[in-house]
Amino acid sequence: MTTTPFQIETGRLVEPVNQDDHTRGSDGAPVTLVEYGDYQCPFCGRAYGSVEALLAERPDTVRFVFRHFPLTDLHPHAELAAELAEAAGARGQFWRVHDWLFTHQDEIDPPHLREVAGLIEPTGAVARDLDQREYADRIHRDFISGVRSGVNGTPTFYVNGLRHDGGYSLPELLRAVDTAQR
Protein backbone atom coordinates (compact mmCIF):
# COMPACT_ATOMS: atom_id res chain seq x y z
CA MET A 1 0.00 0.00 0.00
CA THR A 2 1.39 3.41 -0.92
CA THR A 3 0.82 6.42 1.27
CA THR A 4 0.47 10.05 0.44
CA PRO A 5 2.09 12.68 2.65
CA PHE A 6 -1.28 13.46 4.22
CA GLN A 7 -2.53 10.01 5.15
CA ILE A 8 -2.86 9.69 8.89
CA GLU A 9 -2.02 6.61 10.93
CA THR A 10 -3.41 7.22 14.38
CA GLY A 11 -1.57 5.57 17.17
CA ARG A 12 1.55 4.62 15.20
CA LEU A 13 4.71 6.47 14.37
CA VAL A 14 4.67 6.81 10.57
CA GLU A 15 8.22 8.09 10.06
CA PRO A 16 10.69 5.65 11.62
CA VAL A 17 13.59 7.04 13.61
CA ASN A 18 16.44 7.72 11.20
CA GLN A 19 19.87 9.31 10.92
CA ASP A 20 18.37 12.81 10.64
CA ASP A 21 16.77 12.58 14.08
CA HIS A 22 18.31 14.05 17.21
CA THR A 23 18.77 11.19 19.66
CA ARG A 24 20.08 10.68 23.16
CA GLY A 25 20.97 7.26 24.46
CA SER A 26 22.14 4.08 22.81
CA ASP A 27 20.86 3.14 19.36
CA GLY A 28 20.66 -0.39 20.77
CA ALA A 29 18.40 0.56 23.68
CA PRO A 30 15.36 -1.71 23.96
CA VAL A 31 12.95 1.26 24.18
CA THR A 32 12.78 4.27 21.87
CA LEU A 33 10.80 7.24 23.17
CA VAL A 34 9.91 9.82 20.51
CA GLU A 35 8.51 13.18 21.54
CA TYR A 36 6.81 15.66 19.25
CA GLY A 37 7.22 18.93 21.08
CA ASP A 38 6.99 22.70 20.96
CA TYR A 39 9.58 24.79 22.80
CA GLN A 40 7.02 27.39 23.94
CA CYS A 41 4.43 24.88 25.12
CA PRO A 42 4.15 24.93 28.93
CA PHE A 43 3.09 21.26 28.94
CA CYS A 44 6.24 20.35 26.98
CA GLY A 45 8.20 22.38 29.51
CA ARG A 46 6.79 20.21 32.31
CA ALA A 47 7.36 17.03 30.32
CA TYR A 48 11.00 18.08 29.78
CA GLY A 49 11.75 17.52 33.48
CA SER A 50 10.08 14.10 33.39
CA VAL A 51 12.03 13.05 30.30
CA GLU A 52 15.32 14.19 31.86
CA ALA A 53 14.56 12.19 35.02
CA LEU A 54 13.52 9.17 32.94
CA LEU A 55 16.80 9.25 31.01
CA ALA A 56 18.72 9.46 34.30
CA GLU A 57 16.80 6.52 35.78
CA ARG A 58 16.86 4.30 32.67
CA PRO A 59 20.12 5.28 30.89
CA ASP A 60 20.66 1.86 29.30
CA THR A 61 17.00 1.28 28.51
CA VAL A 62 15.83 4.39 26.66
CA ARG A 63 16.86 6.09 23.44
CA PHE A 64 15.15 9.49 23.31
CA VAL A 65 14.25 11.28 20.08
CA PHE A 66 12.93 14.85 19.85
CA ARG A 67 10.95 16.04 16.84
CA HIS A 68 9.60 19.51 16.26
CA PHE A 69 5.88 20.24 16.33
CA PRO A 70 5.61 24.03 16.76
CA LEU A 71 2.04 25.16 17.35
CA THR A 72 2.50 28.60 15.85
CA ASP A 73 -1.11 29.69 16.35
CA LEU A 74 -0.57 29.39 20.12
CA HIS A 75 3.17 29.95 20.38
CA PRO A 76 4.37 32.58 17.92
CA HIS A 77 8.11 32.02 18.50
CA ALA A 78 8.10 28.21 18.67
CA GLU A 79 9.09 27.79 15.04
CA LEU A 80 12.00 30.23 15.34
CA ALA A 81 13.10 28.38 18.49
CA ALA A 82 12.99 25.08 16.60
CA GLU A 83 15.04 26.59 13.78
CA LEU A 84 17.58 27.79 16.34
CA ALA A 85 17.82 24.27 17.75
CA GLU A 86 18.41 22.92 14.26
CA ALA A 87 21.04 25.56 13.49
CA ALA A 88 22.76 24.59 16.74
CA GLY A 89 22.43 20.93 15.78
CA ALA A 90 24.27 21.58 12.52
CA ARG A 91 27.12 22.74 14.74
CA GLY A 92 26.94 19.80 17.15
CA GLN A 93 25.03 21.71 19.83
CA PHE A 94 21.42 20.60 19.42
CA TRP A 95 20.97 19.23 22.95
CA ARG A 96 22.65 22.25 24.54
CA VAL A 97 20.15 24.61 22.88
CA HIS A 98 17.24 22.18 23.36
CA ASP A 99 17.92 22.18 27.11
CA TRP A 100 18.31 25.97 27.19
CA LEU A 101 15.01 26.49 25.38
CA PHE A 102 13.09 24.32 27.85
CA THR A 103 14.76 25.83 30.91
CA HIS A 104 14.26 29.40 29.65
CA GLN A 105 10.77 29.23 28.14
CA ASP A 106 9.99 32.71 29.43
CA GLU A 107 12.84 34.04 27.26
CA ILE A 108 11.72 32.54 23.96
CA ASP A 109 11.40 35.66 21.86
CA PRO A 110 13.42 37.00 18.93
CA PRO A 111 15.88 39.13 20.96
CA HIS A 112 16.78 36.29 23.34
CA LEU A 113 16.96 33.72 20.54
CA ARG A 114 19.33 35.99 18.59
CA GLU A 115 21.46 36.35 21.72
CA VAL A 116 21.71 32.56 21.99
CA ALA A 117 22.51 32.36 18.28
CA GLY A 118 25.45 34.68 18.92
CA LEU A 119 26.70 32.46 21.73
CA ILE A 120 26.62 29.40 19.48
CA GLU A 121 28.45 31.11 16.62
CA PRO A 122 29.89 34.57 17.37
CA THR A 123 30.59 35.13 13.66
CA GLY A 124 26.87 35.56 12.99
CA ALA A 125 26.44 32.37 10.94
CA VAL A 126 23.58 31.05 13.10
CA ALA A 127 21.78 34.38 12.94
CA ARG A 128 22.12 34.30 9.14
CA ASP A 129 20.69 30.77 9.12
CA LEU A 130 17.70 32.05 11.08
CA ASP A 131 17.25 35.06 8.77
CA GLN A 132 17.36 32.79 5.71
CA ARG A 133 15.04 30.19 7.33
CA GLU A 134 17.73 27.60 6.55
CA TYR A 135 16.04 24.89 8.64
CA ALA A 136 12.37 25.65 7.95
CA ASP A 137 12.03 22.59 5.70
CA ARG A 138 13.39 20.34 8.44
CA ILE A 139 10.86 21.71 10.93
CA HIS A 140 8.09 21.25 8.36
CA ARG A 141 9.11 17.61 7.73
CA ASP A 142 8.95 16.86 11.46
CA PHE A 143 5.58 18.58 11.70
CA ILE A 144 4.09 16.66 8.76
CA SER A 145 5.41 13.36 10.10
CA GLY A 146 3.67 14.20 13.37
CA VAL A 147 0.40 15.01 11.63
CA ARG A 148 0.62 11.75 9.67
CA SER A 149 1.21 9.89 12.95
CA GLY A 150 -1.87 11.42 14.54
CA VAL A 151 -0.25 14.16 16.64
CA ASN A 152 -2.73 16.91 17.41
CA GLY A 153 -1.16 18.52 20.46
CA THR A 154 2.05 18.73 22.41
CA PRO A 155 3.71 16.93 23.92
CA THR A 156 2.89 13.68 22.15
CA PHE A 157 5.01 10.62 22.88
CA TYR A 158 5.56 7.35 21.03
CA VAL A 159 7.03 4.34 22.81
CA ASN A 160 8.58 1.84 20.40
CA GLY A 161 6.48 3.29 17.61
CA LEU A 162 3.12 3.26 19.44
CA ARG A 163 1.50 6.43 20.71
CA HIS A 164 1.58 6.78 24.47
CA ASP A 165 -1.86 8.06 25.40
CA GLY A 166 -1.07 8.32 29.11
CA GLY A 167 0.38 11.28 30.92
CA TYR A 168 3.92 12.52 30.94
CA SER A 169 4.76 12.52 34.63
CA LEU A 170 7.84 10.53 35.56
CA PRO A 171 5.86 7.60 37.05
CA GLU A 172 3.67 7.41 33.93
CA LEU A 173 6.64 7.47 31.55
CA LEU A 174 8.52 4.91 33.67
CA ARG A 175 5.51 2.62 33.53
CA ALA A 176 5.25 2.99 29.75
CA VAL A 177 8.95 2.29 29.26
CA ASP A 178 8.99 -0.66 31.64
CA THR A 179 5.91 -2.15 29.97
CA ALA A 180 7.44 -1.75 26.51
CA GLN A 181 10.61 -3.46 27.65
CA ARG A 182 8.79 -6.66 28.67
Residue 119: give its domain's CATH number: 3.40.30.10
Phi, psi of 31 (to 5 degrees): -125, 130
pLDDT of 1 reads 45
pLDDT digits (tens, 9 = 90+) for 112-159: 999 999 999 989 999 999 999 999 999 999 999 999 999 999 999 999
Q: Has residue 125 been placed in a domain?
A: yes
Condensed to tens digits (0 to 9), the pLDDT of residues 17-53 reads 999 999 999 999 999 999 999 999 999 999 999 999 9
Q: Is residue 16 part of a domain?
A: no
From residue 137, alpha-carbon distances to 8, 26, 132, 144 in Å are 20, 27, 12, 10
Higher pLDDT, 52 or 6: 52
pLDDT digits (tens, 9 = 90+) for 55-111: 999 999 999 999 999 999 999 999 999 999 999 999 999 999 999 999 999 999 999
- On whether residue 17 sits in a domain, the answer given is no
In the chain, pLDDT over 90 holds for what percent of residues? 92
Q: In what order do the strands lie in the sheet with 22-24?
A: 22-24, 62-68, 31-37, 156-159, 162-164
Residue 7 lies in a domain: no
* Three-class SS state of 42: helix
Quick one: pLDDT at residue 182?
A: 81
Q: Confirm whether 11 is domain-assigned.
A: no
Confidence tier at 8 by pLDDT (50, 70, 90): low
Is the residue at 12 inside a domain? no
pTM of the model: 0.93
Domain contains 15: no
Instruction: Please tell me the distance from the alpha carbon of residue 8 to that of residue 62, in angstroms, as a whole number.
Output: 26
Host domain of residue 146: 22-181
- Domain assignment present for residue 5? The answer is no
Q: Count structural domains, the chain.
A: 1
Q: How far apart are CA 147 and CA 69, in angstroms?
A: 9
